[in-house]
Amino acid sequence: MTDTLLSPPASTSITDRATTAGGSGTARAAHRAAPLLRVTDLKVHFPTGSGRHAPVVRAVDGVSFDVPRNTIVGLVGESGSGKTTTGRALLKLVAATAGRIEFDGHDLSSLSEKQMLPWRRRMQIVFQDPYASLNPRMSVAEIIGEALDTHKLAQDRREARISELLERVGLNADHRTRYPHEFSGGQRQRIGIARALAVEPDFIVADEPVSALDVSVQAQVLNLLQDLQRDLGLTMLFVAHDLAVVDYLCDEVVVMYLGHIMERGPTREVYARPRHPYTRALLSAAPVPDPRAPRSRILLKGDIPSPIDPPSGCVFRTRCPHAADICAQATPPARSMGPDHYVACVRLDEIDAS
């Protein structure tokens, strides 16, 4: 199905997150039935060599989740979880090996690079590294201008639009002729956000946007993202490893481990009552800035296995304190634990009983 250049994006109205997240049952059901993004059984495998039998890195190995409109969904996991690859696969920056990516009801999976162009206006990405995500040889005006020019936006009022975008992210419009190295890390990150906003997207993948920044600057950028999401009605996928930040910012959270989703659901719910053993261990391991906070540490034994040779069945079973033989048999299906709360574990009942 080929889509020609679309009319302006759908949800630009300011929508209060609270009502969509905690509204009445039917309103919520209707809202969830038409998520902005639906990922079904996404797989991304990277070959390690050129031979036909070269081992394959199963970075993402069967991931399904929704991103409802006007929400911020957090995607958390440790190294090897596949969260970064997932974020990039959604924007087709890496090729998916299998699975469906439905954006606003349209299946993007089989689109060619040329067909993707109009969709690239609607989905953008902000990167982790504020130093390497901007071309050091382009001025700020050129960087943002390129975004506008690629999609032929604001061509008659280009300079004004660039100034608008800079101010929107809290930067001085007079600095448009400067080059990236003249800005601090936090400012560079803002430039990256301005670039993403230039095409007026509905959806932004924020790939660990604050991990490389100082703590005091992180708060500045997080507040900016929160404001933008609210004011522009954006939908965001926030990829992160800092659980506290996800708790603060995200409406829903998806917990990944070794290419699979272990648990997903509303943030408050998952953090207050984590069901999956990995989620529990992860939350208990996160350092809390309060020396008097009670600590019931669940220490996992061993290391994260290699994504080239993941364990059979449930990939977490080699480190799970509740692992049993049944866990090796098949990948656990996502089991519903409550409204929009899914857990992939076959031994939940036994674990709860003990």
Partner 1 sequence: MAMALPSTAGGGDRWQVLRLLVARKTVLISLIVLVVLIAAALLAPYVSPFDPYKLSIMNRLKGPSSVHWFGTDDFGRDVFSRVIHGGRLSLMVGFSVVILASVLGIALGLIAGFFRRADKFVSRLIDAMMAFPDILLAIALVAALGPSLINVIIALGIVYTPRLARVVRASTLVIRELPFVEAARALGVPTYRIVTVHVLRNLISPILVQGTFIFAYAILAEAGLSFLGVGVSPDIPTWGTMINSGQQYMGQADWIMIFPGIAIVLSVLSLQLLGDGLRDVLDPRLRKEL
Partner 2 sequence: MTASSRDIVLSVDGLKTWFHSRDGVAKSVDGVTFDLARGETLAIVGESGSGKSVTSLSIMGLLPKPAGRIEAGKILFRDRGGKHHDLAQASAATLRRIRGAEIAMIFQEPMTSLNPLYTVGDQIAEAVLQHEGGSHAAALKRAQEMLERVEIPAAARRVNEYPHQMSGGMRQRVMIALALACNPSVLIADEPTTALDVTVQAQILDLLRRLQAESGMSILFVTHNLGVVAEIAHRVAVMYAGRVVEDAGVYDLFERPTHPYTRGLLSCIPTAALLASRERLQPIPGNVPSVLALPPGCTFAPRCPIAEPACTQAVPELLPVWPEHLARCIKVTPQ
| Binding of partner 2 by 323 (CB under 8 A) | no
Residues 327-343: b if buried by 16+ CB within 10 A, e if exposed: beeeebebbebeebbbb
Q: In the window 83-112, what residues touch partner 1 (CB under 8 A)?
A: 88, 91, 93
Contact yes or no for 191/134 (Cβ under 8 A): yes
Planar angle of CA 197, 74, 92, nearest 5 degrees = 55
| Binding of partner 1 by 181 (CB under 8 A) | yes
CA distance 110 to 258: 26
Find the binder of partner 2 among 8, 25, 105, 287 (CB under 8 A): 287
Q: How far is CA 197 from CA 34, 161, 209, 232, 245, in A?
A: 23, 11, 15, 10, 22
| Binding of partner 2 by 241 (CB under 8 A) | yes
245 contact choice in partner 2, partner 1, none (CB below 5 to 8 Å, kind-dependent): partner 2
Q: Least distance to partner 1 from the beta carbon of 311, Å?
A: 30
218 contact choice in partner 2, partner 1, none (CB below 5 to 8 Å, kind-dependent): partner 2
| Binding of partner 1 by 49 (CB under 8 A) | no
Binding mask 177-196 for partner 2 (x = CB under 8 A): -------x-x----------
| Binding of partner 1 by 116 (CB under 8 A) | yes
203 contact choice in partner 1, partner 2, none (CB below 5 to 8 Å, kind-dependent): none
199 contact choice in partner 1, partner 2, none (CB below 5 to 8 Å, kind-dependent): partner 1
Binding mask 293-312 for partner 2 (x = CB under 8 A): x-x-x-xx--xx--------
CA distance 244 to 116: 35
17 contact choice in partner 1, partner 2, none (CB below 5 to 8 Å, kind-dependent): none
CA distance 343 to 341: 7
Q: Which residue has the tokens 């984590």?
A: 274
Q: How far is CA 26 from CA 17, 33, 131, in A?
A: 16, 10, 46
In what order do the strands lie in the sheet containing 98-103? 56-67, 37-47, 98-103, 106-107
CA distance 136 to 231: 30
Q: Residues in contact with partner 1, total (CB under 8 A)?
A: 35
Q: Tell me how many helices (H) and strands (E) the chain has.
A: 12, 12
CA distance 133 to 119: 21
| Binding of partner 1 by 239 (CB under 8 A) | no
Find the binder of partner 1 among 3, 41, 182, 349 (CB under 8 A): 182
58 contact choice in partner 2, partner 1, none (CB below 5 to 8 Å, kind-dependent): none
| Residues at the contact surface with partner 2, assessed by CB under 8 A | 78-79, 184, 186, 214-220, 222-223, 226, 241, 243-245, 247-248, 281-282, 284-293, 295, 297, 299-300, 303-304
| Residues at the contact surface with partner 1, assessed by CB under 8 A | 88, 91, 93, 116-117, 120-121, 124-125, 127-129, 131-139, 146-147, 150-151, 177-182, 192, 195, 199, 212
